[in-house]
A = this chain, B = another copy of it.
Amino acid sequence: MQQQVSVITLGIADLGRARRFYEQGFGWTAVFANDEIVFFQMNGFVLGLWLASALEAETGLRRAGTSGAFAMAHNVPARSDVQPVMDRLVQAGGTVTRAASAPPHGGYRGYVADPDGHSWEIAWNPAWAIDDKGHVSFGL
């Protein structure tokens, strides 16, 4: 089977608030939006923001709109990019959960939660290649 994830959908409480974080904070452009869902075309998959109530009804799970034990990372080209991106995300409604610092395994990173608590690591990781289409390759 392909090692492939087609969609990542984040349950959110307020579509306008969530959209502002991703559009103004990350500077991303939506490929589709209606009054309950927004899709972004990403690097090989699609990211969705969907009202948590609708997501719960669709999946059959009940999570009361809270985020969970997972995190996403957005890697940036240089160490000096980490703090400015974190600042933009905070201006767009995010909350710093860990200030930027150098982890033991190398690189530089901090964590910002989106307005619904979904966790984003903003990282400079020189060992992992990113091509011009944003495709990321594991490296040591």
Task: List chain A positions with a Cβ less than 8 A from chain B.
Answer: 1-12, 26-29, 31-32, 39-47, 52, 55-56, 58-61, 63-76, 85, 97-98, 103, 111, 113, 116-119, 121, 123, 125, 128, 130, 133-138, 140
Contacts and interface: CB of A to CB of B under 8 A. Distances in A.
A3 B85 contact: no
A104 to B, nearest CB: 11
Nearest to A57: B98
Contact of A136 (B12, B44, B66, B69): B44
Copy total for this chain: 2
The 10 closest A-B pairs by CB, nearest first: A68-B68, A44-B44, A11-B69, A4-B134, A60-B97, A6-B75, A7-B73, A60-B98, A43-B44, A44-B135
